[in-house]
Structure 1
Amino acid sequence: MSRAEATAGEAGTIWSRLATLIENAVDRVSRSSAASLALIAIVALLAFLPGHFTLPPVDRDEPRFAQATHQMVETGNYLDIRLQEETRYKKPIGIYWLQSIAVWATGTGPDASIGIYRLPSLFGAIAAACLTWWLAIAFGRPRVALLAGLLVASTVLLGIEARLAKTDAVLLATILAAHGALARAWLSTSTERNLRLAAIFWTALGASILIKGPLGLAAIACPLILLSVIDGSFRWLKQLAPLPGLIWMLLVVAPWFVAIGIASKGAFFEEAVGKDLIGKVVSVQESHGAPPGAYFLLLFFTFWPAAAYLSTGISWIMDRLKQPVILYAVVSVVPYWLIVEAMPTKLPHYVLPAYPLLAIATASALDAGGIRREGWFARFAASGAALMPAPLAVAAVVIAILLGENPSVAGVLILIVAGIVGVVSGRLFIPSPIASAAVAVIAAVITYLGIFGFVLPHLQHVRISENLATAGRAALDCPDPRFTSAGYGEPSLVLLAGTDTVLTDGAGAASFLAAGDCRAAFVEKRQLPSFNERTDDLGMMVDETGTVRGYAINGGRLVEFHIFVARSATP
């Protein structure tokens, strides 16, 4: 044997030993339900927490939700949903109540930081990872349940939603609670009522309706109907007490829907159902259009790092459709996926309810040795855990330089470490895909620490609203300043500068300054001619107190703002 062959053999032995060590650790943890849930929750917290309190509000939906909650807490009106003076009748009340509870529980008041408004999403995402375990454990395979929970906790899409003060992470938790009850009813040989499962199922569906309308029902209807058709009977649903359960679900949701219907004189249903829901089904809304197949192409990014193992295990999965766990996953994912692919309006989070089921199918393939390890695609997939942090490290440097900022050195170094861990995951792919997946989860957690914890919060040019609000308050020496913005109408500015912030044009900004004391105007460069013309017409003297430059993500352009106050207001 040559020295090269001996060295290669020793290296192979090292990787095999490491793979065995990791796989044995996974086995030991999976034998304990408490240990499994604790590990999933810890991994989820480590994956979701970086950037939670340090990332600025992300326009546009997040600050709209947070601002509406802000106004609820500010006014004490927890029935109506308003964004400044306008009604916001797009989603039901559930997420606003949860965000209000977060504000109340932390004692921060309506001016709480965006991180407080994000807490329901953080806890919802952690719950979703744990409920993935609860759903999977119903099929009697502890290692599958543990792996599925870890894969969900480390996926890109859920990590993004965990950091946004909106509906989707909480919605996912309610859907998975309903899935867990439904799967247990289907697997049982009894047709007697199970009040525990029925209570979980119908309460979860009621909560999902209060969070985001009928989307949770649609996700659950897919397996409910198809499994009944496959079984040739709906009798198994008796365990879920359909009639009493439906009545209970209506009791959960009806009070607010009736109250808002009366208070809004039907406007809520016209807006939420007629325009928002049906509008997205039949046409492209808010320029969020994409052709069918877009979600499939995005899967390799949004389902990272689990996508590598799903793609190499798909043949095994499709060959075992008769296995209960695979059948349940397929009937839950395929029809739902086809529906959202067919919709003209497409947003990445629309497919999020399918991801835990994909994770369970992927974990089943990992557990049974169904991951393909030969061929060029398998070799490519083996490098999957390293394919995200490496480009992100390069992008972190390039984007910072393009914006005229210094890159986050700590963030780049952490991403490099994540890439190295990803390479280790790739080396473990051949001896043990399970060990490879476990290390890929670690690589993902480190990646999120680097990108969300350091790189993105470090970029000052994207903090336009925050910088404007800070500069505006510094320009005025009075207790209750008011602001107007000309040429920049992002909801994050309203959230950070105040509910009474006026969004207008250059002429309107000048008129705003002339109408009272303790006021500042943020005038985008292109609005300066109309602003100056109007100040001349009013005979008003103004002082420019500063300039804010930044990069507007919505619109993708560099912007420049000039901050003005009436001359008498200059401190």
Structure 2
Amino acid sequence: MERPVGGYALLGVAACAALVLPAFFLPPVPIDETRYLAVAWTMHAGGHWLVPWLDGAPYPDKPPLLFWLINLAWWVTGVHAWSARLLEVLLALATLPPLRRLAFALSADARAAAKATWLWLGCIAFAGFAGAVMFDLLLTLCVLSAWLGGVWLARGQMRLGTVWLALGLGLGILTKGPVSLLVGGLPALLAPWWHPAVRGRPGRHYLALLLALAGAAVLALAWALPAARAGGPAYGDAIFLKQTAGRVAESFAHDRGPAWYLPIVPLLMLPWTLGLGRGVPASDPAAAPGHRLLDRFALAATLPAFLVFCLISGKQPHYLLPLLPALALPAGARLAAGRWRVVGWRVGLVLLVIAVGFAVALARLAPQAPVMAYACLGGAALPGVALVARGRRPTTVATAAVATLVLVALAKAAFVLGLGPRYAVQAAAARIASAQRAGIPLLHAGQQQGLYTFAGRLTAPIATARSQAQVAAWATAHPGGWVISSYRHYDYAATPLYQQPFLGRRLAIWRAADIAAQAAANARTRAPEEPADAGD
């Protein structure tokens, strides 16, 4: 019998190591990771446990569950970026047991459940986002719990199913909002279509579903209602309306067309998209169990939500993560039955192409990258070379999955070595924190998005300006202050106190007196006024 994450202990250890090790070396990536860590740090430093805050204002874009969990990790380890990343790796690995249990609940055997788990563990989406400080793998864990509750409801385990469905949906709302209801609740809603037992008792099933929804609402509102009162009317409107209707109708972030996701799913499921081929089914029909239940459940769990995601204007690749484990269920059953097989040389070729792609991107983005970065990419190519060299000899799904994990881990190491200095803000943040402690007035020209808050462990927000006129007025009023910016629109001719490369441009700190003098000189020569928006 295969284990939940594979048949070989050594491969399991290698998989976990490949996921965990990069978490200790990757610095927070702007702007998402730096922003989320800034919110978690502000919660930690200021005790804002009910309402998340960012840059001196309530932060309504995300509910607090991930920030609470990060602070729980910090309570154990102290405040470090690596502990937040390690938490994310553990959350990713925590999705494996409920996926296996879900396969069993849908009548899959142990081999099919193990192969489905390896398929999920070994896809680029899982390996790439494990360790990233984001909300989507925590949401995936909540969605898998909700799916498991929905399957138990369909099987007639009403009490257990209701509790798990309510917990999965409620915690999902506390993770990323009402999208949890869409992704986690649709299979239970469509249960009469994919589970024949529900057709004989639809009233009982839907009554339990309503109870689960009520339980999820109670769990979510236990936070949302007091948070809306504490955060004020604008915050309440934002968490109840803006983060749902705003993203559906006309996105205020990541606005993309309806077809944008169509090529994304095959990329997220690499190497399996190209690495699985037709097999030779078992001659004994009893050895090849039917896949109708798994197929229909996977369809109900993915297709309706995917179509809704396509219609929602705000889109990012990682938004699809909670849908992907369902695709592994029927694929795992087909691998176990011999109807599909892992084509090792194809998987190896895919991994080689990815490694070469990383090398080309690194050469273009960081021409001065150290040799060690390319050495890591050379190591990342070795699993692909080994699989290609095996030719047509059989390859297990566990072997292919670990090869993918090793590739991604080494590619992340190359990214840190080659591109890390271009987005690391620790040195600038240390200077800003020192100035803040010394009482020097600070202004950030353009949105800061918490860029320096966590890296500098700042305890007070930095004032911001959104136009050149505001910067000049502030600099004139605070000649002893500092002006900070990384936007091209706010790049000044005066000699900065500090500067560094940052995301292809310059991050710099200037004396406010120099900025004021430059503004005065420009006014005397009647230079045309700059546009008001930062734009970058």
TM-score category, normalised to shorter length: 0.7 to 0.9
Please tell me whether residue 263 in structure 1 is matched to residue 225 in structure 2.
no
Please tell me whether residue 161 in structure 1 is matched to residue 147 in structure 2.
no
What corresponds to 1:114 in structure 2?
81
Please tell me whether residue 459 in structure 1 is matched to residue 419 in structure 2.
yes
In the TM superposition, 1:436-451 aligns within 5 A as 436-451=396-411
Letter aligned with residue 244 of structure 2? L
Letter aligned with residue 267 of structure 2? F
* Contact preservation (8 Å) 1:155, 1:303: yes
For residue 40 of structure 1, report the CA deviation from its aligned partner. Answer: 8.8
CA distance in 1, matches of 2:488, 2:183: 47
For residue 483 of structure 1, report the CA deviation from its aligned partner. Answer: 4.5
Given the alignment, which residue of 143, 149, 156 partners 1:181?
Answer: 149
CA deviation profile, 1:155-194 (whole Å, cap 9, x unmatched): 22233432222211111001111212322443x3xx4x55
What corresponds to 2:60 in structure 1?
89
Give the 3 Å change call, closer, same or farther, for CA 236–417 of structure 1 in structure 2: farther
Given the alignment, which residue of 34, 46, 64 partners 1:75?
Answer: 46
CA distance in 1, matches of 2:5, 2:500: 51
Letter aligned with residue 146 of structure 1? A
* Contact preservation (8 Å) 2:153, 2:162: no
For residue 306 of structure 1, report the CA deviation from its aligned partner. Answer: 2.4
For residue 406 of structure 1, report the CA deviation from its aligned partner. Answer: 5.3
* Contact preservation (8 Å) 1:300, 1:307: yes
Give the 3 Å change call, closer, same or farther, for CA 546–237 of structure 1 in structure 2: same
What corresponds to 1:485 in structure 2?
444
CA distance in 2, matches of 1:488, 1:268: 19
What corresponds to 1:500 in structure 2?
461
CA distance in 2, matches of 1:150, 1:513: 61
In the TM superposition, 1:130-145 aligns within 5 A as 130-138=97-105, 139-145=107-113
What corresponds to 2:316 in structure 1?
347
* Contact preservation (8 Å) 1:383, 1:423: yes
Name the stretch that deviates more: 338-347 or 505-514: 505-514
Given the alignment, which residue of 236, 248, 268 partners 1:281?
Answer: 248
What corresponds to 1:527 in structure 2?
490
In the TM superposition, 1:298-317 aligns within 5 A as 298-309=264-275
* Contact preservation (8 Å) 1:308, 1:382: no
What corresponds to 2:516 in structure 1?
none
Letter aligned with residue 163 of structure 1? G
Letter aligned with residue 451 of structure 2? S
* Contact preservation (8 Å) 2:271, 2:347: no
CA distance in 2, matches of 1:480, 1:421: 59
CA distance in 2, matches of 1:275, 1:33: 40
Please tell me whether residue 61 in structure 1 is matched to residue 32 in structure 2.
yes
Give the 3 Å change call, closer, same or farther, for CA 268–521 of structure 1 in structure 2: closer
SS at match of 1:549: strand
SS at match of 2:72: helix
Please tell me whether residue 418 in structure 1 is matched to residue 383 in structure 2.
yes
* Contact preservation (8 Å) 2:372, 2:414: no
CA distance in 2, matches of 1:281, 1:370: 40
SS at match of 2:505: strand
For residue 346 of structure 1, report the CA deviation from its aligned partner. Answer: 1.5
CA distance in 1, matches of 2:180, 2:277: 27
CA distance in 2, matches of 1:299, 1:438: 22
For residue 255 of structure 1, report the CA deviation from its aligned partner. Answer: 1.7
CA distance in 1, matches of 2:370, 2:485: 23
Unaligned runs of 5+ in 1: 1-27, 314-318, 533-542, 553-557
Please tell me whether residue 548 in structure 1 is matched to residue 500 in structure 2.
yes
What corresponds to 2:339 in structure 1?
370
Name the stretch that deviates more: 54-63 or 483-492: 483-492
For residue 471 of structure 1, report the CA deviation from its aligned partner. Answer: 5.5
Letter aligned with residue 416 of structure 1? A
Please tell me whether residue 395 in structure 1 is matched to residue 361 in structure 2.
yes
Please tell me whether residue 195 in structure 1 is matched to residue 159 in structure 2.
yes
Letter aligned with residue 209 of structure 1? I
Give the 3 Å change call, closer, same or farther, for CA 41–134 of structure 1 in structure 2: farther
Letter aligned with residue 114 of structure 1? A
CA deviation profile, 1:469-525 (whole Å, cap 9, x unmatched): 246568x69767765433573532333243423333667667459748785745767
Name the stretch that deviates more: 168-177 or 326-335: 326-335
CA distance in 1, matches of 2:43, 2:15: 30
What corresponds to 1:563 in structure 2?
509
In the TM superposition, 1:26-45 aligns within 5 A as 28=1, 30=2, 32=3, 42=13, 45=16
RMSD: 3.8
Q: Please report the TM-score for the alignment, with normalisation by the length of structure 2.
A: 0.80
For residue 351 of structure 1, report the CA deviation from its aligned partner. Answer: 1.6
SS at match of 1:495: coil
CA distance in 1, matches of 2:380, 2:126: 19
Structure with more contact order per residue of length (Cα contacts < 8 Å, sep ≥ 6): 2
CA deviation profile, 1:452-477 (whole Å, cap 9, x unmatched): 13433442442253342246568x69
SS at match of 1:288: coil
Give the 3 Å change call, closer, same or farther, for CA 516–72 of structure 1 in structure 2: farther
What corresponds to 1:384 in structure 2?
350
Given the alignment, which residue of 120, 127, 143 partners 2:94?
Answer: 127
Please tell me whether residue 150 in structure 1 is matched to residue 121 in structure 2.
no
Residue identity (%): 20
For residue 201 of structure 1, report the CA deviation from its aligned partner. Answer: 2.5
CA distance in 2, matches of 1:310, 1:372: 6
SS at match of 1:388: helix
Given the alignment, which residue of 302, 305, 329 partners 1:333?
Answer: 302
SS at match of 1:166: coil
CA distance in 1, matches of 2:175, 2:11: 24
Letter aligned with residue 289 of structure 1? R
* Contact preservation (8 Å) 1:484, 1:502: yes
Give the 3 Å change call, closer, same or farther, for CA 33–489 of structure 1 in structure 2: closer
CA distance in 1, matches of 2:277, 2:464: 48
For residue 545 of structure 1, report the CA deviation from its aligned partner. Answer: 3.7
CA distance in 2, matches of 1:219, 1:34: 24
Please tell me whether residue 290 in structure 1 is matched to residue 257 in structure 2.
yes
For residue 128 of structure 1, report the CA deviation from its aligned partner. Answer: 1.2
* Contact preservation (8 Å) 2:35, 2:451: yes
CA deviation profile, 1:50-84 (whole Å, cap 9, x unmatched): 43232222222322222122111111121112212
Letter aligned with residue 527 of structure 1? Y
* Contact preservation (8 Å) 1:40, 1:150: no
* Contact preservation (8 Å) 2:28, 2:81: yes
CA distance in 2, matches of 1:357, 1:63: 31
Letter aligned with residue 175 of structure 2? I
SS at match of 1:493: coil
CA distance in 1, matches of 2:420, 2:363: 14
Given the alignment, which residue of 66, 76, 82 partners 1:105?
Answer: 76
What corresponds to 2:177 in structure 1?
213
For residue 36 of structure 1, report the CA deviation from its aligned partner. Answer: 6.3
* Contact preservation (8 Å) 1:154, 1:444: yes
SS at match of 2:229: helix
CA deviation profile, 1:424-474 (whole Å, cap 9, x unmatched): 57x2xx453xx2533221221211221113433442442253342246568
Give the 3 Å change call, closer, same or farther, for CA 335–312 of structure 1 in structure 2: farther
Letter aligned with residue 117 of structure 1? A
How many residues matched? 500
Letter aligned with residue 463 of structure 2? V
What corresponds to 2:138 in structure 1?
170
Name the stretch that deviates more: 84-93 or 223-232: 223-232
Unaligned runs of 5+ in 2: 280-287, 514-536
For residue 246 of structure 1, report the CA deviation from its aligned partner. Answer: 4.4
